[in-house]
Amino acid sequence: MTVPVDPNTLDGLEAVIDTWLAGELAGNPVVLAVDGGVDGPRSWFVRMEGEERGVFTTRFWLRQRTLRYETYVMPAPEENHGQLYEHLLRRNARLYGAAFAIGDEDAIYLMGQLDNALIGPEELDRVLGSIYAWVEQFFRPAMRIGFASRFKG
């Protein structure tokens, strides 16, 4: 079990994340904006520009034990629910550090968490890069299943 960290350690981790995000905003062309504190203390929204999904946001929350993150991938499917959920569950078997999940209003999210002991620039790069790659890779096939009738013709 992950051990909770004290407030001073959380302050240090928050500074690591802030510094890393400032670097991403300055040097990573897919990072369009970073907003901190919008969703409470020790939280961030990172807007990214993709090719398949367009613009999407990854939300981060630093808690006592973990850094949690999630990205809205697509709305609730209109059709082929079982086929879409099977498709995403099969994709989950290949993901590391995140998984597709059903969130608010039955929308599809990509969610994960990272032990606070692992927080550092390299691991944060891996997390954000993985989320970006997975959204880009799986968005269009998922939409074609969940909204198949809109893609006909």
The pLDDT tens digits of the residues spanning 67-125 come to 999 999 999 999 999 999 999 999 999 999 999 999 989 999 999 999 999 999 999 99
| DSSP-assigned states of every residue in 57-81 | EEEEEE-SSEEEEEEEEEPPPSS-H
Residue 91 within any structural domain of the chain: yes
Q: Which domain holds residue 118?
A: 7-148
Residue 2 within any structural domain of the chain: no
Residue 31 within any structural domain of the chain: yes
What is the layout of strands, in order, in the sheet containing 99-102? 31-36, 43-49, 55-62, 66-74, 108-115, 99-102
CA distance 78 to 55: 22
CA distance 52 to 29: 16
Average pLDDT, integer, range 133-145? 97
Instruction: Give the domain CATH number at 72.
Output: 3.30.1460.10
For residue 80, what are the CA distances in angstroms to 76, 86, 89, 149?
Answer: 11, 10, 14, 10
The encoded tokens of residue 145 equal: 């299943």
Nearest to 74 by CA among 52, 51, 101, 107: 107
Full-model pTM: 0.92
Total of domains in the chain:
1
Residue 19 within any structural domain of the chain: yes
pLDDT of residue 149: 94
Q: Which residue has the tokens 């409470």?
A: 40
Residue 94 within any structural domain of the chain: yes
Residue 77 within any structural domain of the chain: yes
Residue 85 within any structural domain of the chain: yes
Residue 1 within any structural domain of the chain: no
